Homo-oligomer: A and B are copies of this chain.
């Protein structure tokens, strides 16, 4: 009756990263006829959430059970070409760096095999109640390290 595969975490890529497919709907576009620029950051956040899910962790469980949230500290992004209504986009997500209470990602949005958006995103792991940095849960850190090792030739 429906398509639950749509909500399964996307498969892992050879680089140890993750790829998510999204469809552009009217809600994402603006009067200039293209995806409104801030919405690429929403796609990227969905992709990071799904990357987390491939490692066995959910944002909701981390938030509700451990008051852990991953917050964006910095972003450097390039908008190379626009996406439009009805496009299918792939969001590629790879970990660049893993620290004690932070990590950074390289994310790339691809449309018809051409990159249209790239970003480096710096993330901090914080206690959602205080906003203070806290160590990334050790189980999660181990999983991330494993994917990084699997990726290195």
Contacts and interface: CB of A to CB of B under 8 A. Distances in A.
A77 B79 contact: no
Given A29-B31, A45-B38, A2 B7 contact: no
6 contacts: A1-B13, A6-B6, A25-B42, A26-B59, A30-B30, A75-B75
A128 interface: yes
Interface stretch (A80-88, A95-103, A133-141, A144-152): A80-88
**Chain multiplicity (copies):** 4
Interface residues of A, number: 59
A20 B87 CA distance: 17
A10 interface: yes
Interface string A56-95: 0011110100000101111111110110111110100000
Nearest to A110: B2
Contacts of A77: 74-76
Name the residue in A59, A76, A85 with the highest tally of chain B Cβ atoms < 10 Å from its Cβ: A85
Contacts of A34: 31, 71
Interface of A: 1-8, 10-11, 13, 19-23, 25-27, 29-34, 36-39, 41-42, 45-46, 49, 58-61, 63, 69, 71-79, 81-82, 84-88, 90, 128, 131
